[in-house]
Structure 1
Amino acid sequence: AAAAREEVAAAAARILRLEAELNQAKLARELAEAEVEERRRIAEKAVWEKEGLQVELEERTKTALMAQMRARVEVEELRREVAALRQQRSESTLDLMIGGGG
């Protein structure tokens, strides 16, 4: 009878040990799942930020290109104005030379 009680006690102790190990394993799994979920959220956030930065970069690039195009148009207009003014000055000088020499 004593041997049977010792076996029951040993079996009960083993059951308690196994339950404790099972609980530890469950906690470890839950912790790992939480860590994976956190990493997934961080990665997802990074993707969103990257996409946001990409959109911002595209917008800034578009704005810069439009500003560059406007500047080129303005420069071209100024060059035409300068050429017209030079032409007028040249014609005025020529008129003075012709008028003064006649």
Structure 2
Amino acid sequence: MSECAFLGFTIKGKKIRWTDKALADFKHRIKELTGRSWGVSMEYRLKKLGQYLRGWTAYFGISQYYRPVPELDEWIRRRMRMCYWKQWRWPRTKIKNLLALG
């Protein structure tokens, strides 16, 4: 089976998918945007993350490879929870905010 890669896509047979390098670059950028030591507000962080995710999904939306998407979604949500947990910092604040969220 032949394989061709171009502009972040690879063509395997009749299927179009993103390359492993494109996925690695995506994960690296998400790690930068959801880093716990990046001292920005959560509003700004969510704005930048939303812009990047919309752009990435618009570009790679023609891909016919959807299996890892739910796992990527779970991973990104876990990274965002990690950022909130770090921001809340103290146990009293964590309890107060978790109770406020229900």
Whether these two folds match at TM > 0.5 is no
TM-score by length of 1: 0.25
Higher alpha-carbon Rg = 1
Higher relative strand content? 2
Higher relative helix content? 1
Per chain length, whose mean CA-contact separation is higher, i.e. which structure has more relative contact order (CA < 8 Å, sep 6+)? 2
